[in-house]
Amino acid sequence: MAPDIGLRIQSILRSIREVIIPALPQTERLAADQAQLIIGNLLIIIDQHELIFHYALTELAEFSGLLRDLSHEIGDDSGEDDNGQNDMLLARAQSLLELHLPAYREIDDLVRATRGATDRLIRATAEHNDSVVQRRLAKLLMDQSARQIERERAWTAASGFDPDRNSIPPLAHLLRA
């Protein structure tokens, strides 16, 4: 399982607090102050990162509503010839706003629950003696594991630790988006 953003940031915070700040000479007040500002910003990111899509959707709703209302009030009197661009933007916005996007924590909890159920099912079928069934199960597991490994390699590629980093496809190509 790839670490989530919150865990990564917690690790960064621990390094700053336990290694970097104590290593700064007493005379480097500016550096210490900047480190505290970094800590503060990282704490804000921890609090907000799970809400980023909902924040963007709220802004999309607000600005598309404003665009619709302004267009209705002003009509063709604005002198702007948008060639239907505003209508196209409003249609795209509406289609996104009609989607139900659950909160990140809801998705993460469901992922954990389905992983647990998968593990229990694998353990329950491990004693199955039918070799045909075992081969089919092994293929399903190996196929999913290969996708998971590739996705996790792409997720952590920026750390530079993968010896064959050039063979990793871009993360965006591996995600359902």
Taking CB atoms within 8 Å and a gap of at least 24, the contacts of 3-11 are: 4/108, 5/45, 5/49, 6/46, 6/49, 6/50, 9/42, 9/45, 9/46, 9/49, 10/46
In a domain, 142, yes or no: yes
In a domain, 95, yes or no: no
In a domain, 159, yes or no: yes
In a domain, 24, yes or no: no
In a domain, 110, yes or no: no
- Has residue 81 got a pLDDT over 70? no
Average pLDDT, the chain: 88
- Whole-number Å distance between alpha carbons of 144 and 132: 19
How many domains does the structure of the chain reveal? 1
- Has residue 82 got a pLDDT over 80? no
In a domain, 136, yes or no: yes
In a domain, 160, yes or no: yes
pLDDT > 90: what percent of the chain?
Answer: 44
pLDDT reported for residue 26: 95
Render pLDDT for 89-146 as a digit per residue (tens, 0 to 9). 999 999 999 988 888 888 888 988 999 999 888 888 877 777 888 888 889 999 999 9
- Has residue 54 got a pLDDT over 70? yes
In a domain, 64, yes or no: no
Taken in order 22, 28, 34, 37, the sign of the CA dihedral is positive
pLDDT reported for residue 55: 87
Q: Which domain holds residue 176?
A: 128-177
What confidence tier does 64 reach under pLDDT thresholds 50, 70, 90?
Answer: very high
Cβ-contact 38, 16 below 8 angstroms: yes
